[in-house]
Amino acid sequence: MKTNWQSLVLILLLCYNTLHAQTSRHTFTTNDTAFVLDGKPFQMISGEIHYPRVPREAWRQRMQMAKAMGINTIGTYVFWNVHEPQKGQYNFSGNNNIAEFVKIAQEEGLWVVLRPSPYICAEWEFGGYPYWLQNEKGLVVRSKEPQYLHAYKNYIMQVGKQLSPYLVTHGGNILLVQVENEYGSYSNDREYLDINRKLFIEAGFDCILYTCDPARDVAKGNLPGLFPAVNGVDKPEEIKALVRKYNNGKGPFYIAEWYPAWFDWWGTRHHTVPAADYTGKLDKILGAGISINMYMFHGGTTRGFMNGANCYDTGFYEPQISSYDYDAPLDEAGNATEKFMAFRNVIRKHLPAGEVLPEVPAAKKTIAIPSIQFTQATGIFSVLPKPHASAAPLTFEDLRQAYGFMLYRTQQPGGTSGMLSIKELRDYGIVFVNGKRIGILDRRFKQDSIFVQLPAGTATIDILVENMGRINFGPNLLKNKKGITNKVLLNGKELTGWNMYPLPFENTDNIAFNNKSTATAEPILRKGTFQLTATGDTYLDMRNWGKGCVWINGHNIGRYWSIGPQQTLYVPAEWLQKGNNEIIVLELIKPEQNQLQSIEKPVLSELRQ
C-alpha cells in the first residue's frame, strides 16, 4: 500500500511539473507593427554585450547592470574563430561557453537576440572568421563557393547543438536569430542569403529569423520572408518607411544596431559622443514603439590578439586597439557612466505600467599597485622554437599559425649596402642585422623598405613580424594573410634561403627566463610578481613603455602601444588574487624598461607620435 501511495505521489508530481513547464513556456510572434510576447506587444530594449570581451566570472554582473538601466534583452554575436580555432577543433568552454552566457541571461530575467551570422565584423579579427579558411585553396567567404559552405555548415551545426535548446520555441530565452550580418554592404546574392536561412533551420534555429543592414543597403541585404532590421537609424519615420518598403508594408520595427558612440584604432583620437546628443533620439525611438539594440551597451576588452582592422581599397590599414570601451553606457570595467544614467532616465519614462527599475549597483572597487618589479628577463632570440626552412618566406597561414609573431631569418653575403624591400609586409616589422636593430616598418604608413648596411662576411638579417589584426570589414576580407606574404629584395634582387620561427604566444607557460639579451635593442620578455592583500579592478600604466602585450596570471590582457590613444590596460579583479600574482610583459621597442605601476582610472585618450 505504501509503495502504491508513493507511486501516486510521484505520478502527480510528474504531471504537475509537466503542466508547469508547459504553462511557463512563452510564445513569441509578430504582428503588423510589433513583436508579440505571450500575446502582448513587446518592445525590445536590447543592449549588445560580447561574451569573449568580458571575463566569464563577470557576465552576471554586467547583465545586472543592464537590467538596472532598463535593458530587457541582451544582444551578442557568435564568434566562429574562438569556437573553431583550428579546422574541426571546437571550443565551447570557459570564456567561450556561450550556452552558459545565455543561461545566465535567462536566470537574470533577460531575453537574448543571437547573431551567429557567421561573419560578424565587430572590430574582431577577420570579422570572426577563423584564419584557417584562407588555407583552403579557392575558398571564398560570404559566397556559394562549396568549400566555404561546407566549413560554414560544419560550424553552424555545432552552434545549433549548443544553443537551439535555449530558443524561445523550446522554452528558452533566445527570441530572435540573425541571418548573415550587413550582407547588403558586401554583396546582393539572395540565393546565398537563402542558403544561410536553410542552414540555420537545419541547425535547429526554428524561430524568428531576420536580416540587418545599414539603411542604404537594406535593398541589397534583405531576404523575402525574413523581416528586415535596420542599422544606424535615429528617425522613427525613416525606419518605419524602410521596413514597410521591404516587408510587405508592415513591421515589426527594429534597429538592430543603434550606435551611442564608436570604436578606436591606434594612432587616432579616442571617440566620444556626449549623452545629450542621443537622449532625445532614444526618447523618440522608444516613444514610437520601435525596438532597439544598443551597439554597444558594454564593449569590454578585445584581449589577446583578437582585434580587427579597417582597410579599404585606398590601401590604408588601421588596426584597432585592445580597449573596446566604445564610450558605451557601461564602461570597459562594467561601471555606469553619465551616459548610462541619462539613458536610464529616458528608458524609465517608457516602462510598462507598474514596472520599476532596480537600483543601480555601486561602482566596482578599484586598486592601484604602486610598483611592480621585474626580476626575470629573456631576449626574444633566446626563446626561438625549431625553425621551418624554405627558399621563400612563408606566411603565418602556411605554418598553421593564427596570431602573434613570426621571426624571419636569412643569411646573406656581407660587405654591401642598399635598400631592403619587403613586399606585402603584414603588418609591423622590426629589422635587425647581426642582432642590431636598424629600423621599423609599419604597414599603417605603407612602409616596406629600409636602408641596410651588411658588414663583411656572412650577415644575418632578422625580421620580426607582428600580426596586428586581420581586416574585419569590406572587400579586402579575402586579402588577410599575415607575415611576409610575398618576397624580400635587396637592391632589387630577391633574397632566398629563409628560416621561419613561429612565436604565437598562445600562452607563456614554457618561456625559459635566462636574464640574457645579446642583441642591441632586442625585444624582451620580462617577468615579475606582485602581492595583493585585496583585489579590485586596476589599469596598468604603460605610458613609459613602447609596444607589446601583457599577461596577468596567464591571461593575455591585450596590446599596448605608446602612440595611443590607449595608454592603460584594464586588469579585471576576477583575474587577480590575494597573495602572489604573476605578470609577463613582451616589450618590442623599449627593452630597457623595468618599472611598471597600475592606476585606478583608465587613460584612453592620449595620443603620441
Select which of 125, 180, 182, 397 is catalytic: 182
What mean pLDDT is reported for the chain? 94
Model confidence at 24, pLDDT cuts 50, 70, 90, reads low
Structure confidence by residue, pLDDT tens digits, 325-380: 999 999 999 999 999 999 999 999 999 988 999 999 999 999 999 899 899 999 99
> Quick check: 550 and 457 in contact, CB under 8 A?
no
Find, among 59, 130, 123, the residue nearest to 257 by Cα: 123
- Residue 504: is the preceding peptide bond cis (ω within 30°)? no
Q: What is the pLDDT of residue 475?
A: 83
Q: Taking the CB of residue 358, how many other CB atoms lie within 10 A of it?
A: 11
Angle between helices 146-163 and 190-202 (to 10 degrees): 40
Statement: residue 316 has pLDDT above 90: no
Question: How far does the chain reach from its first CA to its final CA, in angstroms?
Answer: 87
% of the chain at pLDDT higher than 90: 91
Query: Which strand (E) or helix (H) includes residue 254?
Result: strand 254-258
> Can you give the C-alpha Rg of the chain in angstroms?
26
- Is 257 an active-site residue? yes
Using one digit for the tens of pLDDT, what is the confidence trace for 90-126? 999 999 999 999 999 999 999 999 999 899 999 999 9
Confidence of residue 520 (pLDDT cuts 50, 70, 90): confident
| Pairwise CA distance, residues 140 & 300, whole Å | 31
Model pLDDT, residue 314: 64
pTM of the predicted protein model? 0.94
Give yes or no for residue 544 having a pLDDT over 70.
yes
Q: Is 202 a catalytic residue?
A: no
* pLDDT per residue as tens digits for the range 200-222: 999 999 999 999 999 999 999 99
- Smallest CA-to-CA distance from 151 within 164, 166, 165, 141 is with 141
The residue-averaged pLDDT of 318-324 equals 98
Given 48, 257, 397, 522, the catalytic residue: 257
pLDDT at 227: 95
